Amino acid sequence: MDIRQIRSSIGSVRESELPIVPLVTQGQQNLERGKGQCLHRVSEVGKEKGDCEMLVTPEKIRELQRKLYRKAKQEKEFRFYALYDKVYRADILSHAYNLVRNNKGTSGIDGLTFEGIEEGIGVKRYLEVIAEGLRDKSYKSMPVRRVYIPKADGSKRPLGIPTIRDRIVQMAAKIVIEPIFEADFQENSYGFRPKKEAHQAMDDISFHLRTGKTQVIDADITKYFDSIPHDKLLKLVAKRVVDKNILRLIKMWLKAPVLEEAEDGKKRYKGNDRGSPQGGVISPLLANIYLNVLDKIWKIKKVEEELGARLIRYADDFVVLCKGNTERVLMGIGNVLEYLELRLNEEKTKVVDARREGFGFLGFSIEMKKSPKTKKDFPLIRPTKKSIRRIKAEIKGLTCRDKLCLPKEVVVYNLNVKVRGWTNYFYYGHCSNDLSKLKRYLEERLRTFLRNKHRVKNRGYEKFSYKYLHDNLRLYKIPTTAPWTQTVNAYGRR
């Protein structure tokens, strides 16, 4: 990357793929903190020009999504039968390409990159070829490339990386069918959904802890994405979408073989009879469709009203906040999951009393504490120690001696991207102390890097002052006051 480009863009956020959302009416409670309908996320802290990349859904596509959403919302039993031709519409494929491109994912088994497409055949012709394949039904999905990413506990999480072509088609299908299923999803589900986010899940937890639901079932489903049975999942999809060509596409993606490269360099293809590969564009939607069964049973059986148990789910992670009856609730969850051919991880699933012991959810640590001023109990929510150790390790890795060969502008740019993303997520609850410590650690690590790079023998506080780091190098300023201390504006934002 050209250094001049980096200098001009230091501090910019690289946005991840955002879901397509139907335009909702004022009475619906799906709105994400007052943000508009265009596909973008703006940092709640440190908003500056260039802080986000904005990707707006074309009006024609939004109109289609609104119609599908309203129809599905008004007629709960309606089954949609003529959707396939929308998937290969030129505007939808073009928007799908932009969304996938914006995600900046790696290539699949064919090795084709976005740069290769744009410098070779060209985007327009590439999408025309995809549309032709979909139109004449000659399109076939390619095998999924299996990669592993390390987890905090030392194990590895498998990811399935489809080719760019397959990701584009999956995104196009998701654009069309997601509004239909959004109309059926319950309000206690927060993961991988339009207008839903982790902070809203934490708000839900905080509210119900304050109402006395301090008996917490901290649940974990064993290998959820790898365990979903295809036949039951397809039946659930078919309750709303009966277009045989859409169902054929989904089945094709689910059944796509997995290509694994062994340590000896040999490539092996494995069949795929269960699960939805993490890494696929449409996998989070399918995963939510499947676990929506649990959410709907919870509502139909009136578990929250009769047993005082609030289910809060983020994809396959969920907690249940109870006033009691935890054994009965846990048994009911087990029965539903058994019907779905899933099971709880007995080692990780536990019941805790939040008044005496904390629990973790979505990278946050939650525990009931007594306020020294009011003497009332309140939920103390802050980043987990594991989350803080992880970001410190990332910062250390970006400022170690191996990076001394890089220009300082590049190092600062990489730090800003990493730290801003982490801060935007964990800027919630009682984060002031943790963010203050992280800010000092970030400044000290960059100062140490500059001392080593320029062979400065002293501590460098004068040469590489706070003003120099933030004003000259434009190092991201981590906020050190929790969001709840700030005034709420007319839009409900802090």
Q: Each residue of 157-187: pLDDT tens digit?
A: 888 899 999 999 999 999 999 999 999 999 9
Q: At residue 214, does pLDDT exceed 80?
A: yes
Q: Is position 155 within any domain?
A: no
Q: Is position 428 within any domain?
A: yes
pLDDT tens profile 272-320: 788 888 888 999 999 999 999 999 999 999 999 999 999 999 999 999 9
Q: How many CB atoms lie within 10 A of CB 451?
A: 16
CA distance 132 to 88: 8
H/E segment holding residue 145: strand 144-150
- Residues spanned by the domain of 442: 384-490
**Sign of the C-alpha dihedral, residues 227, 322, 493, 69?**
positive
Residue 370: CB partners within 8 Å, gap ≥ 6? 376, 377, 378
Instruction: Report yes or no: 183 and 72 within 8 Å, Cβ to Cβ.
Output: yes
CA distance 11 to 51: 7
Q: Is position 209 within any domain?
A: no
Q: At residue 256, does pLDDT exceed 80?
A: yes
Residue 54: CB partners within 8 Å, gap ≥ 6? 38, 39, 40
Q: How confident is the model at residue 488, as a pLDDT?
A: 54
What order of strands is seen across the sheet that includes strand 215-220? 309-314, 317-322, 215-220, 350-353
Q: Give the residue from 209, 219, 220 showing the smallest Cα distance to 354.
A: 209
**Half-sphere exposure at residue 323, Cβ-oriented, CA atoms within 13 angstroms:** 10
Q: Give the residue from 384, 382, 368 showing the smallest Cα distance to 428.
A: 382
Q: Read off the pLDDT band of 227 (50, 70, 90).
A: very high
CA distance 392 to 298: 40
Q: How confident is the model at residue 264, as a pLDDT?
A: 64
What is the rounded end-to-end Cα distance, in angstroms, of the chain? 35
Q: Give the residue from 347, 343, 388 showing the smallest Cα distance to 364.
A: 388
Mean pLDDT lowest among 16-25, 134-143, 351-360? 16-25
pLDDT tens profile 26-38: 333 332 332 332 3
SS3 content of the chain, % helix, strand, coil (to 5): 45, 15, 40
Q: Is position 437 within any domain?
A: yes
Q: Is position 418 within any domain?
A: yes
pLDDT tens profile 90-135: 999 999 999 999 988 889 999 999 999 999 999 999 999 999 999 9
Angle 206-208-209 (CA atoms, 0-180°, nearest 5)? 65
H/E segment holding residue 414: helix 408-426
Beta bridge partners of 370: 377
Q: What is the mean pLDDT of residues 366-391?
A: 93
Q: Is position 59 within any domain?
A: no
Q: Is position 351 within any domain?
A: no
Q: How many CB atoms lie within 10 A of CB 102?
A: 16
Instruction: Report yes or no: 427 and 459 within 8 Å, Cβ to Cβ.
Output: no
Q: How far is CA 151 from CA 148, 305, 418, in A?
A: 9, 37, 18
Phi, then psi, of 349 in degrees rounded to 5: -80, 130
Residue 119: CB partners within 8 Å, gap ≥ 6? none
- What does the block give as tokens for 124? 């327009």
Beta bridge partners of 148: 158
Helices 244-255, 164-182: axis angle to 10 degrees equals 130
Residue 159: CB partners within 8 Å, gap ≥ 6? 146, 147, 148, 149, 277, 278, 279
- Give how many domains the chain has, as a whole number: 1
Q: Is position 290 within any domain?
A: no
What order of strands is seen across the sheet that includes strand 267-270? 156-161, 144-150, 258-261, 267-270
Q: What is the mean pLDDT of the chain?
A: 86
CA distance 424 to 479: 10
Q: At residue 387, does pLDDT exceed 90?
A: yes
Q: How confident is the model at residue 156, as a pLDDT?
A: 77
Q: Read off the pLDDT band of 391 (50, 70, 90).
A: very high
Q: How confident is the model at residue 158, as a pLDDT?
A: 81
